[in-house]
A and B are shown apart, each in its own frame.
Chain A
Amino acid sequence: DAGVTQSPTHLIKTRGQQVTLRCSPKSGHDTVSWYQQALGQGPQFIFQYYEEEERQRGNFPDRFSGHQFPNYSSELNVNALLLGDSALYLCASSWGLASTYEQYFGPGTRLTVT
């Protein structure tokens, strides 16, 4: 049983560009959350998708957007990249939204903005 997978593993972008990160949830999971982990910091919640809708959003600008597909996979899009967007982006999946449902994390995508 594959766990949460993310692609690509690493990527380098230039300021002002746009990037798309992808996540496939663990088998049987229907909820995907995205977190940003800057160097030396803990993960910060970006947003969460369930039934193809954004259900909750953290304190991130509109440059950060997402999508969930009918097969529950998800994309994170970041427009007009800033140097400060350089971070590890983590995807987590769970079976449902409830607080008691454990989240399983993927290995992350390391984004470097130059």
Chain B
Amino acid sequence: AQSVTQPDIHITVSEGASLELRCNYSYGATPYLFWYVQSPGQGLQLLLKYFSGDTLVQGIKGFEAEFKRSQSSFNLRKPSVHWSDAAEYFCAVGGGATNKLIFGTGTLLAVQP
């Protein structure tokens, strides 16, 4: 079955600290992987995506993610978190004939001053 697991429901980090959000996927074919961010009252904004090639991908707002096929993981990282990064983060997997996405349950990030 195709699925995405985000083990951390809620994470709190201090401003300026590093961040890693975990994502594991199960997908029968070659996965296309995405990270989206959702702020209150906003739609989903794409942070970054991985289709193929270099397993370390850079995104917007200083985020990066690393694809590890052996671990079925696509963890999101940021070296120094800003207060404006507080939001909910969703990992998603797609592929196949259409761009339908399967999302994880999300990780809510809180940033302490």
Contact B105 A99 (CB under 8 A): no
Give CA–CA (A106, B105) in the complex, Å.
19
Contact B98 A99 (CB under 8 A): yes
User: How would residues 55 to 69 of chain A score, 1 for a CB under 8 Å from any chain B CB and 0 otherwise?
Assistant: 110100000000000
A65 to chain B, nearest CB (A): 18
List the B residue with the shortest CB-CB distance to A43. B103
Which residues of B have CB within 8 Å of A94?
99
Residues 39-55 (chain B) with a chain A CB within 8 angstroms:
41-46, 49, 51
Which residues of A have CB within 8 Å of B44?
43, 90, 92, 105
Contact B94 A99 (CB under 8 A): yes
Contact B105 A98 (CB under 8 A): no
Q: Report which residue of B43, B101, B106 has the largest number of chain A beta carbons within 10 angstroms of its beta carbon.
A: B43
Q: Interface of A with B (CB < 8 Å)?
A: 4, 31, 33, 35, 40-45, 48, 55-56, 58, 90, 92, 94, 97-108
Q: Interface of B with A (CB < 8 Å)?
A: 4, 6, 32, 36, 41-46, 49, 51, 90, 92, 94-106
